[in-house]
Chain A
Amino acid sequence: MPLAGPCAAYDGHDTMTRPAGPTVLHVDLDAFFVSMELLRHPELRGLPVVVAGGLGPRGVVNTCSYEARRFGVHSAMPVGRARQLCPRAVFLASDYAYYGVASQRFHSILRDYTPLVEPAGADEAYLDVAGCEQLFGDGEAIAGDIRRRVSAEIGITASVGVSGNKLVSKVASDASKPDGLVVVPLGGEAAFLGPRPLRDLPMIGPKTAEVLAGLGVRTIGELAAVAVGHLESRFGRHGLELHERALGRFDSPVLAGRGEAKSVSREMTFEQDEASEDRLRAVLRGQAERVAADLVRQGKAGRTVTLKLRFPPFETLTRSATRPSPTGLADELFETALELFERAWSENARRPVRLIGLGATNLQEPARQLRLGETLERDRVAETVAAIRDRFGDGAVKRGAELMRGPGR
């Protein structure tokens, strides 16, 4: 799909012809939550630091410092496991309100260069700077500029990948981490990806990698060399997609968020397929809290709740339910998502789950149907909790259920 550059309105200047260099940037803040914690706790620099959704044994690691990663700790890992791997790490509870401010600043820096910014989370985004060269220089120059500004204005580092499409830029920024910049020239995509391990390619999870390893495929280049028909026989319609991606071909354009978010969601891919109902519920509960917090920040409420489940290798299903009135309450989001989950999971023989996600769509102004005899106490409680969290961090007030006790207690 041809995409008009954001500055295409300056037509008529021959200097505004399509640029020769790559213009798609993937900007990713390095170990975002940990970096933010180090900003206010400089004494922790150089130590293994882990930021987790909850600090109980069933909490989940959100981000960890590069020091902690050396011990094998990684995001999405249960806190209990992380403690085993790295007992001397410093464990901190996530403080979304604090990170949120930095995240907003980050995205507004990006929008200074082009309106064509596609957020991919609190700490990463894609940009297409085609047509902006006259103003800010080429992709590489803009990438350098963004890195300098993030460092100066937020105090943390960002890594950037620049290439002709989102897929390769994402791999490039990952490759440049931390605090790096990698530019892949147009036409050089396959050569750049070729020697890299399979797992560097988004969409290749542990199970796919395992299947491919069985075929003797270990690098992206080796994957690109496998006949498409062969891949299709193993992976169905995803075979062609795997082949195209291994060659660095990806045609999904950078799409700017249309001002306001259409949905708010959280999802999580498990390193090992998850079969424990308790744990899946706990993850869903945490996602409901995060989504609710995002909704509050945006001044919105969601009327439709969506549940996403993926079973290995790529069998993805989504289920959604529309509530009678929009909600921004974590309890209500969780309640609806849990119903959807329980039904969808039993329909699928309660197989191990690779990915679970919760989203709120059909976003509307927050409004709630009051019940007969109800006073506004519940909202006052919610407001008070929000105020405490804004001031002292998300961890300051918690629900008992979030402590994620094991079963039978």
Chain B
Amino acid sequence: MKVQVLQENLQRGLAIVGRAVATRSTLPITANVLLQTDKGRLKLAATDLDIAISAWVGAKIDEEGATTVPSRLITDFVSSLPPATALLEIPDRGRQVRLECARNESTITAMDAEDFPRINSISDGVAVQLEPRALRRAIDRVEFAAASDDSRPVLTGVHVKSAPHEKTGAPTLTLASADGFRLAVAEITLSALPDDPIEVIIPARALRELGRLANDANEPIEMRINAQKTQVQFAMTDVELVAQLIQGTFPNYRQLIPESSGTTCTVSVEEFKRETRIAAIFARDGSGIIRLQLQPNSGLPGTLTISARADEIGNNEGSIDAEIVGDATKIAFNSRYLQDVLNALSVEKVALEMTSPSSQGVFRPVGETDYVHVVMPMFVQC
């Protein structure tokens, strides 16, 4: 193999696929990056067996071939090189990759590309086109609510389903995640429904990586599920992400979103976030609880009081103006869950709907119908 590639292109490609490199694996080759000539370009790929990312960069192919090199070494090395043309070369049956750039030359011990896990491109199954910004926004609003411990594997994933919208009938892709204590549901309007309905569970980690990649994407992203429904592929210009789907049944979450509420409190997201951030400083040394008090004031703006106390540290209480419909009430939340949902809302105002201190709090961005977030409260004695 003999390839000439611009240092910037190689660096960018390595940064993209580097996110899929295995960090703790019993299979040593998964700590490597695959470098392979592919139809006049250089293909880079990495996988930790759960997800795989491939990227193609422009290159001048002098001789076809493939090899794998340790990801960390080549990434650190290439990113330190000056911007110039790099020459990649492996002598036949060689175990050493030679890399020459400007007046710097190095050899890196390689592992045989034949031993690298096979990454299949999916071309069968069912596909749907997604607008990158809408996808990114939906991912950012749901992925954090997925479970981080894998005691219930389906909860570490995001449930993705295509269907006509319940109310408007518009073609819609719904993303939902829940970790047992909270639930996030975001909708993306599609240009058209896929030929067959899609209903899969995608690992939250794969979507997190996709969210990063989608940042750079301008063209629609194709999501494709293979015919066996075991893998999902997201194809962008020059980049592909393939992930294993999580098998199992996602809990029926619709019933957890109440239709009606006793009290609705509408406040500025900025102010709510600020007071919550302050209260969290006190809460973190105590039980991690933030208490909310909703106080209507007939005809006039009501008050939302945000407070926290730590037995040996002290107390904090902040108030903000609130538009409150319904009775005065209170509720307590885990400070992290409250901060997470407020950080995910990229709007001016949020409505908190609740019925009792021991039933779910429902957060909705005001003026948008494509997102809802449910948080279970903390049960406190007083």
Using a CB–CB distance below 8 Å, which chain A residues touch chain B? Answer: 299, 301, 303, 325-326, 364-376, 379
Bound form: Cα–Cα A116–B229 in Å: 70
Output the nearest chain B residue to A371 by Cβ-Cβ distance.
B180
Bound form: Cα–Cα A365–B311 in Å: 8
Q: Does B289 contact A (CB under 8 A)?
A: yes
Interface contact B380-A369, CB-CB below 8 Å: no
Stretch at the interface among B22-30, B56-64, B238-246, B370-378: B370-378
Interface contact A374-B311, CB-CB below 8 Å: no
Interface contact A372-B332, CB-CB below 8 Å: no
Q: Does B287 contact A (CB under 8 A)?
A: yes
- CB neighbours (8 Å) of B302 from chain A are none
Q: Does B360 contact A (CB under 8 A)?
A: yes
Digit string of B244-287 for contact with A (CB within 8 Å is 1, else 0)?
00000000010110000000000000000000000000000011
Interface contact A367-B181, CB-CB below 8 Å: no
30 pairs across A/B with beta carbons < 8 Å?
A: A325-B287, A326-B287, A364-B287, A365-B287, A365-B311, A365-B380, A365-B381, A366-B380, A366-B381, A367-B287, A368-B378, A369-B181, A369-B334, A369-B378, A369-B379, A370-B181, A371-B180, A371-B376, A372-B178, A372-B180, A372-B181, A372-B182, A372-B253, A372-B256, A372-B360, A372-B374, A372-B376, A374-B376, A375-B358, A379-B379
Output the nearest chain A residue to B181 by Cβ-Cβ distance.
A369
B139 CB to closest chain A CB (Å) equals 21
In addition to A366-B380, A367-B381, 13 A-B residue pairs with Cβ atoms within 8 Å of each other are A303-B287, A364-B311, A365-B286, A365-B382, A367-B289, A368-B378, A368-B379, A371-B376, A372-B182, A372-B256, A373-B255, A373-B256, A376-B358
- CB neighbours (8 Å) of A367 from chain B are 287, 289, 332, 378-381
- Most chain A CB inside 10 Å of its own CB: which residue of B332, B360, B381: B381
Interface contact A371-B181, CB-CB below 8 Å: yes
Output the nearest chain A residue to B311 by Cβ-Cβ distance.
A364
Within 8 A of A (CB), among B181-219: 181-183
B355 CB to closest chain A CB (Å) equals 12
Bound form: Cα–Cα A73–B346 in Å: 70
Known: A364-B311, A376-B358. Contact between A370 and B378, CB under 8 A? Answer: yes
- CB neighbours (8 Å) of A366 from chain B are 380-381
Output the nearest chain A residue to B382 by Cβ-Cβ distance.
A365
Interface contact B287-A369, CB-CB below 8 Å: no
- CB neighbours (8 Å) of A373 from chain B are 255-256
B312 CB to closest chain A CB (Å) equals 10
- CB neighbours (8 Å) of A325 from chain B are 287-288, 334, 378
B96 CB to closest chain A CB (Å) equals 43
Digit string of B276-310 for contact with A (CB within 8 Å is 1, else 0)?
00000000001111000000000000000000000
A307 CB to closest chain B CB (Å) equals 21
- CB neighbours (8 Å) of A364 from chain B are 286-287, 311
B284 CB to closest chain A CB (Å) equals 12
Known: A299-B381, A325-B334. Contact between A370 and B287, CB under 8 A? Answer: no
Bound form: Cα–Cα A296–B154 in Å: 35
Bound form: Cα–Cα A366–B379 in Å: 8
Bound form: Cα–Cα A365–B285 in Å: 12
Bound form: Cα–Cα A302–B213 in Å: 43
Output the nearest chain A residue to B286 by Cβ-Cβ distance.
A364
Bound form: Cα–Cα A325–B332 in Å: 13
Bound form: Cα–Cα A116–B260 in Å: 57
Bound form: Cα–Cα A400–B324 in Å: 49
Bound form: Cα–Cα A73–B360 in Å: 54
Output the nearest chain A residue to B309 by Cβ-Cβ distance.
A365
- CB neighbours (8 Å) of B255 from chain A are 373
- CB neighbours (8 Å) of B256 from chain A are 372-373
Bound form: Cα–Cα A374–B178 in Å: 14
Bound form: Cα–Cα A372–B334 in Å: 14
- CB neighbours (8 Å) of B374 from chain A are 372
Identify A376's interface contact among B311, B378, B379, CB under 8 A.
B379
- CB neighbours (8 Å) of A370 from chain B are 181, 358, 376-379
Interface contact A372-B286, CB-CB below 8 Å: no
- CB neighbours (8 Å) of B288 from chain A are 325
Bound form: Cα–Cα A366–B382 in Å: 9
Bound form: Cα–Cα A325–B311 in Å: 15
Bound form: Cα–Cα A1–B251 in Å: 61
B229 CB to closest chain A CB (Å) equals 26
Bound form: Cα–Cα A288–B288 in Å: 24
Bound form: Cα–Cα A239–B349 in Å: 69
Interface contact A369-B376, CB-CB below 8 Å: yes
- CB neighbours (8 Å) of A371 from chain B are 180-181, 376
- CB neighbours (8 Å) of B182 from chain A are 372
Bound form: Cα–Cα A367–B286 in Å: 11
B3 CB to closest chain A CB (Å) equals 50
The 6 closest A-B CB pairs, nearest first, are A364-B287, A370-B376, A367-B380, A368-B379, A367-B378, A367-B287
Bound form: Cα–Cα A376–B376 in Å: 12
Output the nearest chain A residue to B178 by Cβ-Cβ distance.
A372
Bound form: Cα–Cα A248–B340 in Å: 59
Output the nearest chain B residue to A366 by Cβ-Cβ distance.
B381
- CB neighbours (8 Å) of A303 from chain B are 287
- Most chain A CB inside 10 Å of its own CB: which residue of B181, B256, B360, B377: B181
B86 CB to closest chain A CB (Å) equals 49
Digit string of B82-96 for contact with A (CB within 8 Å is 1, else 0)?
000000000000000
B305 CB to closest chain A CB (Å) equals 18
Bound form: Cα–Cα A294–B374 in Å: 34
